[in-house]
Chain A
């Protein structure tokens, strides 16, 4: 239903739009990362698009692809009610993309979260630091190669607590140093 928006973007930006798709009512366009800010500005300011309601900005990790991180921006127009999804793929070696905080205030924290979880750097962001995790944390946990069970405690555990404390028996309670369970494999892209 937002096809005209995608058509406007494609007619304006031509080859910067790498692919478009439409499934289950969602309209998606994949943009070349160097034109990200231009396309986003157009979506914001063009009267036929008028995407003034910021919805979401996130990232998906496809480690098997050359352009590993797929930045996803979801927008909505409060006047027409149309929604679009813009995507851009950045490689791991140079995970940089322009920040859209100048267009939508809401992008601020969402970009910080994408940086925190994936390590994508948003150029032009006023304050790019971790938001959900602490500064001492090393690594980016939502990447597929970060082991989910790997903790980085800030407060060292009490020496008495390194073994099972009473009233838990030796085999009760949750083991917190165990390795990843075999058998239930992680999905790999």
Chain B
């Protein structure tokens, strides 16, 4: 039933706009967004999206420690794909320092980042499907996510908040057998994605609830500052990994899925295809990566911690370690804006340094904050029930939106 059929003149009723507060504790609002809706019957006349219920003071906390102490906070930005945030921040500080990490480290960052991206898209698509009533694909996608998390846990030690990347490299090298384990799960993940998509993309109810719903135009998307899948679904071919390549993305062969309507269905299928492209990238990167003996950190004692054997046995190692931990990396004064393609789009770190070991200002340009602004445009004029898939397909992660 179209929203037009519920208009006043058709129904011949006297109505007044009703104000309904949806959230912040609501299953479809991912726990932290409040939407104050003004409704004419079922149609949303006006919506005031209120983020900020998970504001945790990221930017203020960064100013209280050293440059390396920011990594745990970055994990908790987009907490579904934490490695991508870690990599983004490390690249920003390395840009300001003017250093490049060795090849093995770059490949490892790409592989771990793409694994995190697959986990992110699995969660998003799974949660959207669940909110529309399809519980089974959600459970299958969580099963696939568990495999990825097991691989990541074996390398980094944590399932979710890894803090594995360091300025100038990684915390430690990839573990033995990582390549075999990753190669073993990739076909299983791909099969799970295909199975879930077969269930959903042929289902009349799913198609009716996502096609033509939550449309945003190209001009609006650019003006709003959207990025990532949200802007690619409208037809604009903007993927930072292709347009401004960083790390080793220019050596990998992959496609960028682009939609054409900008509706929920396009976003959903774009994420799907991106997962497959990520799997393709991981396979190529595993093939191209230098072997385990290659260096994974830059060889600069002013930036990278010395290995523990040196810390405990030599005086230079101890002093080096002490200075880096207590005073922090001395980043030269200046500012830089560094951007990467995170799970939801352009994750930017605008870093201002005053020459000391403590950051002066770390500004996170979270893609979800800009993407969520588009939500009010997407749902005005639609019905209340359309809010659920639309909001889910924007993939609003509150850690990144509210910081």
Contact = CB atoms under 8 A, between A and B. Distances in A.
Interface residues of B, number: 48
Interface stretch (A32-40, A105-113, A159-167): A105-113
Nearest to B403: A132
**Chain B binding surface, main DSSP class:** mixed
B61 interface: yes
A70 to B, nearest CB: 9
Contact of B52 (A106, A131, A148): A131
A56 B350 contact: yes
B60 A148 contact: yes
A60 interface: yes
A142 B98 CA distance: 28
A108 B377 CA distance: 13
Contacts of B334: 23-24
Contacts of B209: none
Given A24-B336, A106-B225, A187-B356, A142 B60 contact: yes
Interface string A12-25: 00000000000110
B346 A187 contact: no
Contacts of B377: 105
A23 B350 CA distance: 13
Contacts of A42: none
Interface of B: 50-52, 55, 57, 59-61, 63-65, 95-96, 98, 219-220, 222-226, 236, 238, 243-244, 334, 336-337, 339, 346, 348, 350, 352, 354, 356, 358-361, 363, 365, 369-370, 372-373, 377, 402-403
A81 B59 CA distance: 28
B225 A53 contact: yes
A186 B64 contact: yes
Nearest to A109: B373
Given A56-B348, A142-B59, A187-B354, A131 B51 contact: yes
A55 B60 contact: no
A27 to B, nearest CB: 11
Given A109-B373, A189-B354, A132 B55 contact: yes
A106 B345 CA distance: 15
A134 B34 CA distance: 13
B95 A106 contact: no
A81 B61 CA distance: 33
Given A52-B219, A148-B60, 5 more contacts: A56-B363, A60-B361, A104-B225, A105-B224, A106-B373
B51 A52 contact: no
A89 interface: no
B358 A187 contact: yes
A133 B55 CA distance: 7
A106 B51 CA distance: 15
Interface in A53-88: 53-56, 58, 60-61, 72, 74, 78, 81, 83, 85
A10 B396 CA distance: 39
A184 interface: yes
A184 B337 CA distance: 26
B348 A54 contact: no
Contacts of A61: 361
A187 B224 contact: no
A141 interface: yes
Nearest to A186: B63
A105 B337 contact: no
Contacts of A56: 225, 337, 348, 350, 363, 365
B225 A55 contact: yes
A55 B63 contact: no
Nearest to B355: A187
A126 to B, nearest CB: 12
Nearest to B369: A109
B354 to A, nearest CB: 5
Max chain A Cβ within 10 angstroms of own Cβ: one of B96, B222, B336:
B222
Contacts of A52: 219, 222-223
A148 B64 contact: yes
Given A105-B373, A187-B356, A74 B64 contact: no
